[in-house]
């Protein structure tokens, strides 16, 4: 395991949150746990960054939210992707795939043209 956590690339946090919620409704702590588990704890997201992002995505109507109970019977706000959010996720995944393919070509390049 690397000794340092990875830092988010600018502009990727919304994509990560949308992807986390593509598997179904989750409360904020569930989103944090999903990100940590999926990245083998290489990405550590602070609650202070997550909740403003969730609210921003909700304001953009990419997410909807409703109150529910956690597994521990505690009240929590559950977020889910809207249809608009699913379209945004698909667009962002496509854009990110093109970007990483271009970066892969750059990093694999040997010499000039």
Show the domains of the chain with their CATH numbers. 13-106 (1.10.10.10)
What is the per-residue pLDDT across 48-97, written as a single tens digit (0 to 9) for each? 889 999 999 999 999 999 999 988 899 999 999 999 999 999 999 999 99
Owner of token pair 């019977």: 73
Cα–Cα distance measured from residue 78 to residue 90, given in angstroms and rounded to the nearest whole number: 22
- Average per-residue pLDDT in the chain? 90
| Residue 112 parent element (H or E) | none
**The model's pTM:** 0.84
């Amino acid at each position: 395991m690397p000794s340092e956590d990875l830092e988010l690339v600018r502009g990727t946090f919304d994509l990560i949150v949308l992807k986390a919620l593509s598997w179904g409704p989750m409360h904020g702590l569930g989103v944090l746990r999903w990100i940590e588990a999926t990245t083998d704890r290489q990405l550590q997201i602070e609650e202070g960054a997550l909740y403003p992002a969730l609210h921003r995505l909700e304001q953009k109507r990419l997410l909807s939210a409703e109150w529910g109970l956690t597994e521990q019977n505690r009240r929590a706000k559950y977020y889910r992707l809207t249809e608009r959010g699913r379209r945004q996720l698909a667009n962002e995944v496509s854009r990110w795939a093109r970007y990483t393919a271009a970066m892969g070509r750059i990093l694999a390049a040997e010499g000039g043209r």
